[in-house]
Chain A
Amino acid sequence: MTDKYRSDFKILDQNLVYLDSAATSLKPKYVLDRMEEISGSYISTLSRGFGQNAENTEYLVNTTREKLASFLGCLGGSNSIIFTPNATSAINLVAYGYVDRVLGTDGSILVTNEEHHSNILPWMRLVAKSFDRSLKIADITKGNYLESVLSLIDDRVKLISLSLVGNVYGRINLEDIKIIIKEAHRRDILVFVDAAQAPLSVKIDIKDLDLDFLVISSHKMFAIGNTGVLYVSDRIINDMLPAIIGGGTVSDLKIDVTSLENSTLKVDINTMDKIVTCFDNYHRFEIGTQPVLDIISIGYAIDYIESIGVDKFHTINQENLAYLIQRLKQLDFVNLIEYPNSKEDRSLSSIISFNIKGIHCHDVGFLLGEKNICLRSGMQCASLLLNSLKVPGCLRASLGIYNTQDDIDSLVEELTNIHILFSKK
């Protein structure tokens, strides 16, 4: 185990045990320093200015898009990379801009019960629009991820949306998803991959996976801000309509107000398509003023990740997670919430969820927080999974490259104290 990278994170100079990287990662000095350098000088909005500042801003944003395309192994190049306010917005964009039409009156969407609310609610609302549409939910809690998804595929399924790494089990579903994609594409079913938890555990290769859609969440991988990054295949992107529309997405509005009868514009969806020409590719989806600094920081975050290598992140996290799980298993008052076949070590990422028997997770989370040990407590935006497991909430510890065995020992020691505190009669 190494603490080589710990000094890259200034915030850890304080007495902080940070075990909440699945919520958001700490930000490395490298990214923060670059942002401080540029924020004083280079800032402009996009596509509207001339001069050196505008050039520099444009250059940095374009470079970030290219870095992302290469980081994700993206087939269509940077044209397929769309910046969105967060990962959740990206899922909604795809739902309303494309999947709504593909579903027709009676199509189905297939997800699993480990999906984050953000990968369920937009689809739920979409199927609620028509009586014969439906949402199929595979129960993976028996440890049969692949079979449970494959067995629900039928001719009505038009989209399968799965998380590459679940945010409660933390299992890497990559190998199963590869098989599911092959089967889906054989049947002309679209596949959306929610990779919000994945970029530091899996070397994502969209080319290899042959995906239709993928989303990541930049703040979970060292960027500042919350920008979501959506990949849409070049087979689809220019058929996808902007679900939210406004400035920056169209080239011209072909309307001459002086020639309108009674100054009244009559439009229906067909004439609207004629008078409004959306830009191609990512442009049509990036509405309004973009969070330029947040976007640029993603480029620096990728520099940082690539200077170490995703493999290295994965190795360090897996090693630390194995130690954490081993320590937690020694505590007879802890219930682990693990994917049933967790013996397949390859599939471990950086997350473990658990409860202390007989104590509400918020009581534990709060008391840990008072000792500056940060982790997440509650439903984890994954109530389908926790309801299936009949667990009313849980604690989730998630690791980053900056964590050490000492962090894990502190957590275990404090959990033991809390258990004693609650069991004193």
Chain B
Amino acid sequence: MDQNLYRKIILEHNESAFHFERPDTFDVELNAQNQSCGDSFDIYLSIKKDPGTEGSYIEDIHFTGSGCALSKAVTSILLKKIYRKSLIEAKTVIKDYISAMSSDDNTLPIDDELLVFIPFRDKTSRKECCLFSASTILKYLES
């Protein structure tokens, strides 16, 4: 693993994570936990009906909590990707990411910015850091 890659992830997202604060109002609060180490993030979503379509969309999203640089960066980027997206679009982003992280197939679709996490899918000790917040969000979106 290239230390510069690690550095890049840390620089961009650990130090200034996307919407890393508890909002005053929200509709849904999710708790994502890495069972293997105790890292834990709370994710807050505001969901709105989209007047143009039948569905709903994520009007706002924030998170708080503590975790390693990697898990914080993953959560930060995922949140940024699904911010203001319809629930259906959000589900696709998260599902594609989880699929790409869980397979060794390099042709699966994945957002460019999330590509940076692909090397960690072969690191048993770090794979869960990359997946636990995504799984929690997906579970909510599928419920």
Interface residues of A (CB under 8 A from B): 359-363, 366-367, 369-370, 378-379, 383, 392-393, 421-422, 424
Contacts and interface: CB of A to CB of B under 8 A. Distances in A.
Contacts of B123: 366
Given A369-B125, A392-B66, A362 B6 contact: no
Residue of B1, B10, B69 contacting most chain A CB atoms (<10 Å): B69
Contacts of B129: 362
A383 to B, nearest CB: 7
| Chain A contact residues: helix, strand, loop or mixed | helix
Interface of B: 1, 3, 6-7, 10-11, 36-39, 66-70, 123, 125-126, 129
Contacts, number: 48
Given A363-B69, A366-B125, A392-B66, A383 B38 contact: yes
A85 B130 CA distance: 33
B38 A362 contact: no
A369 B3 CA distance: 12
Contacts of A363: 6, 10, 68-70
29 contacts: A359-B69, A360-B39, A360-B66, A360-B68, A360-B69, A361-B68, A362-B37, A362-B39, A362-B70, A362-B125, A362-B129, A363-B6, A363-B69, A366-B1, A366-B68, A366-B70, A367-B3, A367-B6, A369-B125, A378-B36, A378-B37, A379-B38, A383-B38, A393-B37, A421-B7, A421-B10, A422-B10, A422-B69, A424-B7
A421 B7 CA distance: 7
A421 B37 contact: no
B3 to A, nearest CB: 6
Contacts of A362: 37, 39, 68, 70, 125-126, 129
Contacts of A379: 37-38
Which of B37, B39, B67: most chain A Cβ within 10 A?
Answer: B37
Contacts of A383: 38
Nearest to B67: A360
A379 B35 CA distance: 11
A382 B138 CA distance: 32
